[in-house]
Amino acid sequence: MKLLVIYNPAAGLKRRDELQIIIKYLTENNFDYEVHKTQVDFGPDEILASSEHKVDVIIVAGGDGTVSQSINAVHKYGWACPILLLPLGTTNEISQNLGQNTSNLISQLEKLKTMNTISLDYGLVNNSKTFTYALTFGNFTEVTYKTPQKMKNWLGYRAYILYGFLTFRKIKKYRVHINSDEASLGGNYVFGAVSNSSSMGNIFHYNDDKISLTDGLFEVLLISKPNSVKELRLILTGMMQNDYSNEMFTTFKSRDLIIKTKQDIDWNIDGEYGGSYKKLEIENKRQSIQLII
């Protein structure tokens, strides 16, 4: 079995022996492998673009950003082999969704011996960029991609909350219109998310029994702009209790969506800045990525 390892040395609380553990295991178990370390100007896209499609498994060792970029490159260049995740980041949303042990590299590597896989959905935006677990806009969104990496490494989830309080000055509103087979609506919203995940940034959570990662449907969540203290309290209560049933929240499931705004707004893709757009066409690529579990 031939393996291609994508390793991000800057992910999470970097341990000095992470790469050594991976190499030692693969060597002792007689795997044929090559290792590529990501750099600022040489990420998963460049690695997969320059590699031949002659490997049986891609191992991605890093955080959600590394995983998201790797899946985007797999889609872009037409790779068909399964992916094994070695979660090394501060949040590891994707691995948590799969119930994987995020603290034991060996237990993850052992899965190479059984090769059990699951075919997951992912999203395609404007027929170019992909997202694996969440596409978001609005308040609370910038916190994930503007939080300094050193703060993420030091404080983990608390960094998002702390940085949010330090930088949050006022609630912004966004005029958005959404069309899909399931809904057509518009309004002023302070936050919006299209996701395939039971959680987003450890801030928003769904009940696991209501979420499927393989059904070809996204969960859509919109928070209306509050016009009174009462409405603001409803939003905060809903967020604290993970209950989005009150009048300030709009939720529905959808396979494909078109989202339009009058002005460019910033979008977040899997916890990283994803660009600024007035129109997004979002397609669910059902069960189109194989992960080893």
Can you read off the two tokens belonging to residue 123?
């999203």
State the pairing for strand pair 134-138/174-180.
unpaired
- pLDDT at position 29, please? 97
- pLDDT at position 169, please? 47
Beta-bridge partners for 73? none
**Residue 282: exposure state from Cβ atoms within 10 A (0-12, 13-18, ≥19):** buried
Q: What is the pTM of this model?
A: 0.86
d(CA 273, CA 279): 16
The CATH number of domain 2-115, selected from 3.30.360.10, 1.10.3720.10, 3.10.20.30, 3.40.50.10330? 3.40.50.10330
Spell out the per-residue pLDDT of the chain, length 293, in tens: 999 999 999 887 656 689 999 999 999 999 999 999 999 999 999 999 999 899 999 999 998 999 999 999 999 999 999 999 999 877 788 888 888 876 789 999 999 999 999 999 999 999 999 999 999 998 766 555 555 566 556 555 555 555 554 454 467 889 999 999 888 999 999 899 999 999 887 678 898 888 999 999 999 999 999 888 898 888 878 887 889 999 999 999 999 999 999 999 999 999 888 999 999 999 999 999 999 99
Closest CA to 291 of 58, 8, 45, 43: 58
Residue extents of the structural domains in the chain: 2-115, 130-286
Ramachandran quadrant class, 113 (left: phi over 0; alpha: psi -120 to 50; beta: rest): alpha
- pLDDT at position 210, please? 83
Alpha helices in the chain (DSSP H): 18-28, 44-49, 64-77, 93-97, 105-109, 141-146, 149-155, 157-167, 229-241
d(CA 196, CA 189): 20
Give the other-Cβ count within 10 Å of 158's Cβ.
12
- pLDDT at position 146, please? 55
Can you read off the two tokens belonging to residue 291?
């992960």
For 130-286, CATH number? 2.60.200.40
- pLDDT at position 150, please? 61
